[in-house]
Amino acid sequence: MTIRSSLDGKAVLPHRIRWVASASAPVLFPGVEFLIDGKLLFANRLVPYTFGDDGRDEDSGTRRTGYLVTTWLRPGTHRFTVRGKAIVAGGRTSAEKTVTARVVAPPSPPAPLAGTWTRRLDTAAPPDPNRLYRSVTAQPGTYRIAIDQRYLRVTGPEPRRHVKIDYVAGPRTLTIRGPVWTGDPEEGAICDPWGPDATYTWSVSDGTLTLEPAGETDPCRQRGAVMGGTWTRAG
């Protein structure tokens, strides 16, 4: 058995990139494992073996792919490994492939946007009509977002559970993407692991952050219920 990584040949990784493994034989449970610097971050048992895609839509045959987001890694060189086990004619075997590549420091968010913000959601959000946008229900309670150069971190009424979200911030817009997977067992996703992206306009005045979808609504209703509205600066 042999295994290959789509990162092979890359000396410097961008902000985010698709990380896909291919194997010469079907990989046994838990599937292809994705590790950074020896730490297991993700496993995928369905072809294509993609980092950030948990195969939740295997029943419909719909396949999406997530992303490796590098903003949470310290700038410098890291080891990116894919590994798996398979049964071949000679019995059980394993294989792995490691790529050594460098990541660079991400840009800092606009100063007025950076920091921690809180808001309260008084009612639960209605379910998403699009079955692909499966996510946890946005429950009533206090939500907190912390925005730094690594990611946008959302914490809800369950204080241990949180979502780290990839984003791109401009002078007046905030594009929210899919989750940032760091190997933390308490992290999850509001929408699907691959997104979808949504762009908000933002403004800050007198300690209040206002987020409004650039379109009529966020395509993921649960995320829109949490993110859209006014936030108060914490601390």
User: Of all helices (H) and strands (E), which one includes residue 227?
Assistant: helix 221-227
Q: Please say if the pLDDT value at position 168 is more than 80.
A: yes
Higher pLDDT, 128 or 204: 204
DSSP secondary structure of 30-74: T-EEEEETTEEEEEE-SSSEETT---TTTTTT------EE-TTSP
For the stretch 69-98, pLDDT in tens is: 999 999 999 999 999 999 877 778 899 999
Residue 117 DSSP symbol: E
For the stretch 218-229, pLDDT in tens is: 888 888 888 999
Is the peptide bond between 112 and the residue preceding it cis, with omega within 30 degrees of 0? no
Of 235, 211, 209, the C-alpha closest to 224 is: 211
- Please state, rounded to an integer, the average pLDDT across all residues of the chain: 87
Query: Which pLDDT does position 57 carry in this prediction?
Result: 47
φ and ψ of 16, to 5 deg? -145, 150
**66 pLDDT tier (thresholds 50, 70, 90):** confident
- Chain center to CA of 155: 14
d(C-alpha 21, C-alpha 179), whole Å: 20
Domains of the chain, each with CATH number or no CATH: 3-103 (2.60.40), 115-233 (no CATH)
d(C-alpha 82, C-alpha 4), whole Å: 8
Spatial strand order of the sheet with 3-5 comes to: 3-5, 20-23, 49-50
> Quick check: helix, strand or coil at residue 185?
coil
Q: In the structure encoding, which two tokens stand for residue 3, read together?
A: 């295994």
How many Cβ atoms from other residues are within 10 Å of residue 156's Cβ? Answer: 19
Query: Which pLDDT does position 139 carry in this prediction?
Result: 82
